[in-house]
Amino acid sequence: MTNIFTGKSIKEGVKILARIMKESKYAVVLTGAGMDTESNIPDFRGEDGLWRKIDPRVVASIDTFKENYTLFREFYSERIERLNFVKPHVGHYILADFEMRGIIKSIATQNVSGLHRMAGNKKVYELHGNIRSIRCNNCGKEAEMEDFLSNNKCANCGEKALRPNVVLFGEVLPFNEWISAESDIKKSDLLIVIGTSLEVYPVNQLPMLSKGRLVLINKEDVDTYYNFDLKLIGKAGEILRELMEAYE
């Protein structure tokens, strides 16, 4: 039976999680868009989610990249420019501290913001890529961010095919990142899922690979068939702050 903690009972749930983490030998974290919302990055499917206003299957797809590059570039240019005002929040730094101290082994993330690395995490599997890096879709060479924002052609092959290094709808996930994340989760005796609705395939299959305990930290309850041992319903940053205090 899943233990669910909300509101004033969060402190009690956090104490349980802290005890579980101390007992764990191989804890892994899986994060989604809800991890970044406290850094003022809108999530995709929440009440104010980005995808409520824009259909991602239209804009963030490889088909749009090929058939309507102007729309594609405008959409991603706006997303990139928003990142100028975005920094990791306290929760990101706490996860970085947990990794540095060996409390968690790695983070697999659906987020393309790069905030985990900015906060100091080293072992991060970016399953959907990183929006802060640019490459040419034609020749594969890395490119400068300013060239994409200025709508320049690729300096290597001369094609107008620059794009953020993210996974678009209609593309497969990066093989090495996926295999590494899959391997770590299979070895885990604790998987902490933070800020994701677990609606996106194939990442939503990863929790089922863990043979250990499953814990959810999310702003909203996830009504799924995952057999979570513990659910902490609230903001990721606030719960992680409580967790760090309870762990000491």
Given a contact cutoff of 8 angstroms between Cβ atoms, the answer to whether 21 and 27 are in contact is yes
The alpha carbons of the chain give a radius of gyration, in whole angstroms, of 19
- Is residue 47 pLDDT above 70, yes or no? no
What band does 83 get if pLDDT is binned at 50, 70 and 90? confident
Q: Which domains does the chain have, with CATH numbers?
A: 1-41+88-128+173-248 (3.40.50.1220), 43-85+133-166 (3.30.1600.10)
Q: Could you confirm whether 128 is annotated as catalytic?
A: yes
Tokens of 181: 């994340």
Q: What is the pLDDT of residues 112-148, one digit of tens each?
A: 999 999 999 999 999 999 999 999 999 999 999 999 9
Task: Report helix angle 10-23 to 236-247, nearest 10.
Answer: 60
Q: Which of 89, 92, 116, 128 is catalytic?
A: 128
